[in-house]
């Protein structure tokens, strides 16, 4: 490749275009329903983010929403509802219907909580909610630390001046 063609490559602009796509898409439903149904708008934003993630994840990794079940010492524990579960689809799920899944920690590669508005108490609650399902299974030691099992926890927050 010649140096002049190489100078046209701009990974930063590529990633900025993905961010712009999310910014434009996230308010599409709000423009139609206004502030009548915040929870449904939130579910729409989760769907948009899952769609974008699927474009870039390897074929053996998928995303869904739902719950993580863990069985230990003859007790079954279930997580809170998780906005986005990133999982290895080479392992079987306990249940799947569309994007809704119930799985075990074995195939979970990460979890994502999607928030439209985030203040300090909301951040604390979101981090606790996210840490619990994987930490309880012994896969995550701390929220902001990379775990030995290559699991991750992510908080995605989208902000605009019109958000509640």
Eight-class DSSP state of 164: -
Whether 51 is in a domain gets the answer yes
- In angstroms, rounded to a whole number, what is the distance separating the alpha carbons of residues 13 and 18? 9
34, pLDDT greater than 80:
no
Would residue 1 count as lying in a domain?
Answer: no
Residue 103 lies in a domain: yes
pLDDT digits (tens, 9 = 90+) for 102-122: 999 888 888 888 776 666 666
Q: Is residue 111 part of a domain?
A: yes
pLDDT of the residue at 142: 32
Question: Is the pLDDT higher at 140 or at 87?
Answer: 87
Q: What is the phi-psi region of residue 98: left when phi exceeds 0, alpha when psi lies from -120 to 50, beta otherwise?
A: left
Domain count, the chain: 1
Task: Give the range of the structural domain holding residue 83, as residue numbers without chain letter.
Answer: 11-157
Give, in degrees to the nearest 5, the angle at Cα 156 between 10 and 90: 85
Beta bridge partners of 72: 75
2 in a domain, yes or no? no
Question: CA angle, corner 47, sides to 66 and 50, nearest 5?
Answer: 80
> Considering the domain boundaries, does residue 25 fall inside one?
yes
Q: What is the pLDDT of residue 151?
A: 53
Which of 52-56, 57-61, 70-74, 145-149 bottoms out in mean pLDDT, i.e. has the lowest? Answer: 145-149
């Amino acid at each position: 490749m010649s140096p002049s063609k190489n100078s046209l490559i701009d990974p930063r602009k590529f990633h900025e275009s993905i961010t712009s796509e999310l910014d434009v898409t996230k308010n599409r439903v709000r423009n139609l329903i206004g502030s009548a149904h915040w929870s449904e708008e939130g579910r729409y934003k989760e769907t948009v983010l899952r769609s974008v993630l699927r474009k870039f994840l390897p074929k053996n990794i998928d995303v869904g929403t739902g719950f993580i079940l863990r069985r230990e010492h003859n007790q079954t524990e279930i997580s809170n509802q998780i906005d986005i579960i990133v999982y290895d689809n080479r392992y079987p799920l306990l249940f799947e219907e569309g994007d809704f899944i119930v799985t075990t920690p074995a195939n979970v590669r990460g979890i994502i909580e999607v928030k439209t508005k985030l203040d300090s108490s909301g951040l604390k609650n979101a981090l606790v909610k996210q840490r619990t399902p994987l930490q309880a299974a012994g896969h995550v030691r701390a929220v902001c630390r990379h775990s030995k099992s290559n699991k991750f926890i992510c908080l995605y927050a989208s902000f605009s001046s019109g958000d509640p």
